[in-house]
Amino acid sequence: MPTTSTLDLQQFYPNELEIVSVEEMSDELWLHMRSRTKSYQCPQCGMTLRKLHATHHRTVQAPPILGKRVMLDLNTHDFQCQNKDCRIGATAETFGGFLNYYSRMTERLVDFVTILALETSCESSARIMQVMNIKISGDTVIRTLLKRYSAQPERKCGSYIGVDDFAFNANSGIKRPLLRS
């Protein structure tokens, strides 16, 4: 018995984003979405924000679906922090790490760009992604890697040095640590 099934795209996106409509073209898929969020937690002070500051229209690129470029047409909110001691006046929604504040790509796509660029080179990864219908340049790949690198915690050096190289002086028969400068 033949059955018809459809793919529920909503399950791949945060619950706070509602898919309003879908436009399918030959090589692109546009998902028109709006925010369902009524409150947001301030990233600085942790206070629950309910006062709406502004509404923004954003266009964000997401990972491709079946070889088609996916563009998200989003209506998102900025919330105003009412805490007088907080340095943040208003903050944009990130949908649980799905988006960065002013990013043009979802975090899943940024993760993919980073992994591919680390395994290949920036220019070759940009060419591979162009074939996959991801619109990106080699310079954007480099900027993405630099942003990710600067967000890493600074490594701490140890306070002890292990010496495993010794120089043997044949004349005196004494072994001394070999220090390279």
Specify the higher pLDDT residue, 96 or 138: 138
Per-domain boundaries in the chain: 14-95, 105-151
Those residues with Cβ within 8 angstroms of residue 44's Cβ, 6 or more apart along the chain or in another chain: 81, 86, 87, 88, 91
* Residue where the block lists tokens 């992994």: 115
Confidence band for 109, pLDDT divided at 50, 70 and 90 = very high
Which pLDDT score is estimated for 163? 55
Whether the pLDDT of residue 106 is over 60: the answer is yes
Q: Give the phi and the psi of residue 75 in degrees, each rounded to 5.
A: -110, 110
The helix (H) or strand (E) run that includes residue 77 is: strand 68-80
Helix axes 138-150 and 107-119, enclosed angle (nearest 10): 100
Rounded to an integer, the average pLDDT of 117-140 is 94
Give the global pTM.
0.75
Return the SS3 of 94: coil
Angle at 27 between CA 112 and CA 66, to 5 degrees: 50
CB 30 within 8 A of CB 23: yes
- Per-residue pLDDT tens over the stretch 22-80: 999 999 999 999 999 888 888 888 888 888 888 889 999 999 998 999 999 999 888 88
pLDDT > 80? residue 146: yes
Residue from 116, 91, 96 nearest 107 by CA:
96
